[in-house]
Amino acid sequence: MTRHSRAERAREPQDTGGAALFDVDGTLVDSNYLHVSTWWEAFRQAGHTVSMTAIHRTVGMGSDKLIAHLLGEERDTDQDAEIAAAHKALFATYLERLPALEGAADLLRTVSQRGWKVLLASSAGQYELNAMRCAIGADEYIAAATSADDVDASKPAPNLVKRALDRAGVPASRAVFVGDTVWDVQASAKAGVDCIALLSGGIPEADLRRAGALAVYDGPARLLAELDSSPLAEAP
């Protein structure tokens, strides 16, 4: 029988309890419409007219997929990096003022106290994610966080969700994902994880349910109020 060192055993998934995985933009922080306006301006600066409605429906994707989705495969891809950098710079002007959604910190605290491992799985870069964590103010209840910098494919690919599961050390069957976009629902489904959807990101309930959301709530405060009857009632 192979013997593992103490350090090796510490790195191995422990496969205990359940994991509650949370998207951040639009789920815990009220930032989706700031992304819409800053993407709109980034496209405008590059000479593209893209409607805010179309942009809003792509928020939650990684920047690479978002640009391709909105401008199409025939676009000048040499502009992609310039557009993404412009959006990042424009959005950065709001980082110190980002507001947490009502109930966000209390939701993470309560879920953690019920025995769930709380992890963040965000399509944002690490710098933006750090700012959002400051806005939420619940770091003591967050076991780990995964950002776009940790994976090579963004939502709706399942990579972020799978990475979070690896860090939690639990199988998909003992995890629940909480997000606010169709892309969150699709990413979690591809990873085999049930998804709770919130309306706080501005996506219609019908779209979220059609994508496969297990349950839908107005926002983190409403999910917290109805936690006892939700899929997050008790950790497995």
Examine the pLDDT at 10 and tell me if it is beyond 80.
no
The CA radius of gyration of the chain, in Å to the nearest whole number, is 18
**Mean predicted confidence (pLDDT) in 130-155:** 95
Computed over every residue of the chain, the mean pLDDT equals 92
The residue among 92 and 63 whose pLDDT is bigger is: 92
Q: Is the pLDDT of residue 11 over 50?
A: no
Instruction: State the Cα–Cα distance between residues 197 and 185, nearest whole angstrom.
Output: 7
Per the DSSP assignment, residues forming a β-bridge with 21 are 119, 177
Q: Comparing 234 with 165, which gets the higher pLDDT? A: 165
Contacts of 183 (CB under 8 A, 6+ apart): 58, 60, 61, 123, 155, 156
pLDDT at 38: 98
